[in-house]
Amino acid sequence: MMELTGRVAVVTGAGRGLGRAHALLLASLGAAVVVNDLGGGLDGSGGSAETAESVVAEITLAGGIAVANADSVATSAGGAEIVGTALREFGRVDIVVNNAGTTGGLVGFGDLDDERLMSVLGSHLIGCFNVSRAAWGPMVAQGYGRIVNTTSGVGLFGMGKGVAYAAAKMGIVGLTRSLAVEGEVSGIKVNAIAPIAATRMAGTVFGALDEHLDPARVSPVVAYLAHADCPVTGRVISVGGGRVGEVFLGAARGYFNADLTPDDVRENFDTALDHTDFVLPLDAMDEVGITATMHGLSGI
Ligand SMILES: NC(=O)c1ccc[n+]([C@@H]2O[C@H](COP(=O)([O-])OP(=O)(O)OC[C@H]3O[C@@H](n4cnc5c(N)ncnc54)[C@H](O)[C@@H]3O)[C@@H](O)[C@H]2O)c1
């Protein structure tokens, strides 16, 4: 059976919904867990330490090890304090699950004011930076780490009235893929989940599917990506209601003409959009390699 005994995990936004389910599972597998949650409203307002503390009480009652933290991930001081709690209380940090965030309410693009935009980018995207940056030094020093970020189908595939949230969530994909490349030499693996679960944030959006979307059906993927056995880095795994499947970014091999003209583009656009012949680049230079091949170069 998979175990995390001796590992120290930080789970952000772990007072409710998905984060709570992740924290409960990681603790039940033996990890010591920092349960972080600002305890605020869905719009990001307010805050209460009780939200994180109630999950710590659940973990402790079940015989697990956990400590609460109520700092916001949206500031670098908050990120440092969240990771600092793990280092102070448990002496190390092996796992960071970046899960916290608020939607700020979904509004049309014309109504997206600065305050709402910064609150959504702050809690999701900047929050991932803040907590991961604080954990990076200790992880590099120990030559080991697992970071599990949380993106969303809204970011990956789009949704009306969700532009700020979608941009934050797709930003997290960029962060995940590039940090994975950087972390490789230090034994740090960085992946992301795109969850689907019935939570406060999701509200009634999933309709009749709700009864199948217990957040606990997402957490097993987080546990595997957080485990030493995790075989991948830089990947995005969609998970919800018991289904698990990778979401991947491909590049069509496309059309090639070294003397490309606008008319040429118009006449051959179907070939450029044809998905039957594609590659799955692992980083940016892999994609540049497609063009290199067409110019007769084998490697760049
Ligand atoms: N529920 C879904 O179907 C779904 C789908 C895609 C992505 N997600 C993502 O999953 C994550 C968890 O969402 P959820 O559905 O469990 O929502 P939720 O609202 O139930 O839980 C989010 C938690 O994050 C906390 N939080 C918010 N801002 C914070 C901050 N600045 N610092 C610390 N804690 C903060 C909140 O207090 C809350 O307890 C989010 O990143 C969300 O965008 C959820």
Tell me how many domains the chain contains: 2
In a domain, 3, yes or no: no
Taking CA atoms only, the protein residue closest to ligand 1 atom 11 is: 99
Whether 157 and 204 share a structural domain: yes
Instruction: Determine, yes or no, domain membership for 166.
Output: yes
Q: Is residue 34 part of a domain?
A: yes
Residues 233, 255, single domain; the answer is: no
| Ligand 1: centre distance to CA 102 (Å) | 6
- The domain spanning residue 66 has which CATH number? 3.40.50.720
Do 226 and 98 lie in one domain? The reply is yes
The answer for residues whose C-beta is within 8 angstroms of residue 41's C-beta and 6 or more apart is 102
- Say what the alpha-carbon torsion angle 271, 273, 279, 284 is, to the nearest 10 degrees: 120
> In terms of domains, do 89 and 184 share one?
yes
Give yes or no: residues 130 and 102 share one domain: yes
Sole residue written with tokens 């956990």: 66
Is there an atom of ligand 1 within 6 Å of 130 CB? no
Residue 299 has pLDDT above 70, yes or no: no
Domain's final residue, options 247, 270, 285: 247
The reply to whether ligand 1 has any atom less than 6 angstroms from the CB of 36 is yes
Higher pLDDT, 193 or 107: 193
pLDDT in tens, 79-127: 999 999 999 999 999 999 999 998 877 899 999 999 999 999 999 999 9
Q: Which of 36, 37, 173 to mutate to test the pocket of ligand 1 (most atoms within 8 A of CB)?
A: 37
Is residue 16 lining ligand 1, measured as CB closer than 6 Å?
A: yes
* Domain assignment present for 2: no
pLDDT tens digits, 131-140: 999 999 999 9
Q: Examine the pLDDT at 184 and tell me if it is beyond 80.
A: yes
Inter-residue contact 59 to 66 (CB < 8 Å): yes
Report if residue 38 sits inside a domain.
yes
User: Domain for residue 122, yes or no?
Assistant: yes
Kindly give, in sequence order, each residue whose CB lies less than 8 Å from that of residue 292, ignoring residues fewer than 6 positions away. Answer: 298, 299, 300
Counting from 1 in the atom list of ligand 1, the atom nearest the Cα of 197 is 3
Q: Are 204 and 99 in the same domain?
A: yes
For residue 252, name the pLDDT band (cuts at 50, 70, 90).
very high
The predicted structure's pLDDT at residue 104: 73
Do 134 and 179 lie in one domain? The reply is: yes
Kindly give the distance from the C-alpha atom of residue 265 to the centroid of ligand 1, in angstroms, as a whole number. 43
d(CA 97, CA 9): 8
Do 266 and 243 touch, CB atoms closer than 8 A?
Answer: no
On whether both 68 and 202 belong to a single domain, the answer is yes
Instruction: Assess whether the C-beta atom of 171 lies below 6 angstroms from ligand 1.
Output: no
Kindly state if the Cβ of 21 falls inside 6 Å of ligand 1. no
- The mean predicted confidence, pLDDT, of the chain is 96
202 Cβ closer than 6 Å to some ligand 1 atom: yes
**271 and 240 fall within a common domain:** no
Is residue 1 in some structural domain? no
> How many angstroms separate the alpha carbon of residue 300 from the centre of ligand 1?
41
3-state class (DSSP) for residue 61: helix
Which residue in 144, 165, 224, 255 is the catalytic one? 165
**pLDDT tens digits for range 27-59:** 999 999 999 999 988 777 788 899 999 999 999
Q: Which domain holds residue 109?
A: 8-247
Residues 237 and 270 placed together within one structural domain of the fold: no
> What pLDDT is recorded for position 45?
77
Q: What is the pLDDT of residue 300?
A: 65
Ligand 1 center from residue 4 Cα (angstroms):
24
Q: Is the CB of 18 under 6 A from ligand 1?
A: yes
Indicate if ligand 1 lies below 6 Å from the C-beta of 162: no
Q: 177 and 221 share a domain?
A: yes
**209 is a domain residue:** yes
**What pLDDT was estimated at residue 183?**
98
144 is catalytic: no
Locate the ligand 1 atom nearest the alpha carbon of residue 44 and give its number: 28
- Which atom of ligand 1 lies at the shortest distance from residue 153's CA? 6
Q: Are residues 110 and 96 in the same domain?
A: yes
